[in-house]
Structure 1
Amino acid sequence: MADLDYDYLIVGQGIAGTSIAFHLHDLGKRILIIGDSSIPSSSKIAAGIFNPLTGKKLVKTWLADDLFPYAKAFYADLENRLGGKFLHEISVYRPFRSIAEQNTYLAQTADPGIAPYVAEHSSANVTDYIHADYGGLEVIKSGWVDLPVLLEKTRDFFLDRGQFLDETFHVEDIYVEPDHISWQNRTFGKVIFCQGFMALQNDFFNWLPFAPVKGQLLEVATEKTLKPYIINQGIFMLPVSVNTFRVGATYSWDPLDWEPTESATAELQEKMGSLLKTSYEIRSAAAGIRPSVKDRRPLIGIHPEYSNIAIFNGLGTKGVTLAPFFANQLAQHLEDGKELNPLINIKRYFSLYFR
């Protein structure tokens, strides 16, 4: 079909939709984004933290050496283009729970894969409001992305160009032809579904092994002046102003809804109790559903039956670092046929579709 209205229809404008939209836009592609402000979005609720060393065992994040530099360059470029501040590069401070943990972690920092992400001599001084009797480890090359600001700036950018629609999308409204996609009297070369948790209601991709998980955050105020460090010990405490921080996150599977619960709040308060020295006030609570996957790897690629339908999903808890890097891979895959990383390609699950 020669005269298409657009090259791509992008359904969903969370961090996945935003990332692939800019990569395709920068390739000169004609795109139309559908975002529905009437439905909840995990990207709008997520803390947006990027942390290269995670878990009790201080494990380097998968592909950190590739993902982190790419993501920081991507967000820094968007700050310049969109005229906003949403990339905040600050260290993660991990207070040691014991002398034994201190010895274990310090020994691990000798690992040449981990050493570049640890400050040799931490200058963090948070003991006026954090229990850190045994000192702590300062993880560098970390920080957070203010996703609500990024998403709003992105929306405005594409609205100004007539490339964004705020409306409810129904998958049954698209018509798939061999050489194009039709939707609401418009024609597209391809459609990319970036719907997060809502993909479970999409007949094209609901066969994929999503393992969604609910998470809750609190916004907490204190009279203490907070230092520019993300505190991480079982939970994270992310300073968003001089005396306000976000605390998270919980993990639950029942019920999978968007409502904060008293039990999740109590769980976070209990963990804060062992960290915080000072009194605090809970200002608000929010919950979201992470689009996680059983093997903890993204779900990206082209539908097994329809070559003009693709998905970009399953980013889980690390969307701010995964999305830019793999949006670049997906754009090159769709435009030039470059192979996707097999660990994220949905080909690994085609047997589920054909069984």
Structure 2
Amino acid sequence: MTADYLIVGQGIAGSILAWTLTQRGHHVLILNDPTLPAASKVSGGIFNPLTGKKLSRTWKADDLFPFAHAFYADMQEQLGGDFLHDCDVYRPYRSIEEQNSYLAQTADPNIAKYVIDHTDDAKFSPFIENPYGGLQITQSGWVDCVQMLQKIEAYFVDKNQYLFERIDYKKIDIQEDGVGYGKCKVKKILFCEGYEARQNPFFNWLPFNPVKGQSLIAFMEDYSVPEIINQGAFVLPIDEKGTCRLGATYTWHDINWETTADGREYLEGKIKTFLKAPYTILEQQVGIRPSTKDRRPFVGIHPEYSALGIFNGLGTKGVSLAPYFANQFVKFLETGEEIDSEANIERIFSLYFRSK
């Protein structure tokens, strides 16, 4: 079996890279073990241009968000389904001081472009504590990652371009004109393994800083707010029946795939400070985000083996980052066009040579 590229891993990163390569006419194989836990399977998929307590503009927001919107809309049209959800983010102010601070920041044109001028605070009041009003952020929303991943899997399975197995690094045979993997011969193997990349002998020198995140799936009867609510924790409406995701925790210790009582208690404590509506917990989920120490992706080719590449380290903003940087990576593979220096793994090649 021959192909241009073998993609290892089919989370958000692998799916979007595989789709981008295919759309550009390349023959792609995906190798993935669906029995492995994956952060993409439990991701809220939120994209939001203004984040954090300080209302910081997401890195490269002016480039990322228009590109991501167009990308997911086109993918959805071609694959069918309904996984792209454009909706605003409503941030109720915690105090008059926070209100004044945020409103002062919206005088900056770079922030103002992502904010609604006049927010209808009254429509949120039956469900949300908002005595000081709130800020409404636009050009935001969420991607139903589970549905998107299912659509991508079905697409490549239908074309007999999907291998359901776990990567065996010992089977990689780097050759002068490409790379072999078992009975497959490809130009390059591109690793999109998320947290599992720490076990990859070719890329385990990269400075990952994994973050464990937990969220809750809840049911709220008669909850009719279509926007995402965010005030230290978020309420994301998943469907019109009242199913919501409540999230998320961020911890850098006890990195494992186990949910915890502490995580649930933390989330419920955060949520109750602003959510009036009663809810019932249906499920608790956990994921390990492949974040990096400098909070920038790992995109590029191995410093020694030109047949091996990586597309990883998208962290908590994978849905926002993946389309833009997959496009950059594919252009690099095709023509050598430069990858953004902050994302290119060349920025940390010294770590590889130091580890040898």
**TM-score (normalised: structure 2):** 0.97
Instruction: Tell me, yes or no, if structure 1 residue 171 matches structure 2 residue 189.
Output: no
Secondary structure (helix, strand or coil) at the match of 1:37 reads coil
Gaps of 5+ in 2: none
Deviations 1:74-112 (A, max 9, x none): 100011100111000000000000111111111111101
Partner AA of 1:31 in structure 2: V
Aligned to 1:342: 341
Aligned to 1:120: 117
Aligned to 1:108: 105
1:153 to 110, 132, 151: 151
Single out whichever of 286-295 and 276-285 deviates more from structure 2.
276-285
2:209 to 199, 208, 211: 211
Alpha-carbon offset, residue 253 of structure 1:
2.4
The CA distance in 1 between the partners of 2:61 and 2:150, in whole Å, is 27
Instruction: Tell me, yes or no, if structure 1 residue 63 matches structure 2 residue 65.
Output: no
The CA distance in 2 between the partners of 1:171 and 1:131, in whole Å, is 52
Partner AA of 2:318 in structure 1: G
The CA distance in 2 between the partners of 1:213 and 1:129, in whole Å, is 31
Partner AA of 1:267 in structure 2: Y
Question: Is the 8 Å Cα contact of residues 223 and 277 (structure 2) preserved in structure 1?
Answer: no
Alpha-carbon offset, residue 241 of structure 1:
2.1
1:241 to 236, 239, 242: 239
Instruction: Tell me, yes or no, if structure 1 residue 36 matches structure 2 residue 33.
Output: yes
Task: Give the % identical residues.
Answer: 53
The CA distance in 2 between the partners of 1:278 and 1:116, in whole Å, is 31
The CA distance in 1 between the partners of 2:280 and 2:24, in whole Å, is 47
Aligned to 1:292: 291
The CA distance in 2 between the partners of 1:308 and 1:100, in whole Å, is 54
Question: Is the 8 Å Cα contact of residues 221 and 281 (structure 1) preserved in structure 2?
Answer: yes
Question: Is the 8 Å Cα contact of residues 50 and 137 (structure 2) preserved in structure 1?
Answer: yes
Deviations 1:216-247 (A, max 9, x none): 00011122323111000001110112322101
Instruction: Tell me, yes or no, if structure 1 residue 311 matches structure 2 residue 287.
Output: no
The CA distance in 1 between the partners of 2:341 and 2:248, in whole Å, is 30
Aligned to 2:200: 202
Secondary structure (helix, strand or coil) at the match of 1:206 reads coil
Aligned to 2:269: 270
The CA distance in 2 between the partners of 1:199 and 1:313, in whole Å, is 8
Aligned to 1:81: 78
Aligned to 1:259: 258
The CA distance in 1 between the partners of 2:277 and 2:84, in whole Å, is 28
The CA distance in 1 between the partners of 2:148 and 2:62, in whole Å, is 24
Say how many residue pairs are matched. 352
Instruction: Tell me, yes or no, if structure 1 residue 97 matches structure 2 residue 94.
Output: yes
The CA distance in 2 between the partners of 1:264 and 1:200, in whole Å, is 24
Aligned to 2:327: 328
Alpha-carbon offset, residue 5 of structure 1:
1.1
1:6 to 3, 7, 13: 3
Deviations 1:185-238 (A, max 9, x none): 121000100000000000000000000010000011122323111000001110
Question: Is the 8 Å Cα contact of residues 86 and 145 (structure 1) preserved in structure 2?
Answer: yes
Question: Is the 8 Å Cα contact of residues 13 and 34 (structure 1) preserved in structure 2?
Answer: yes
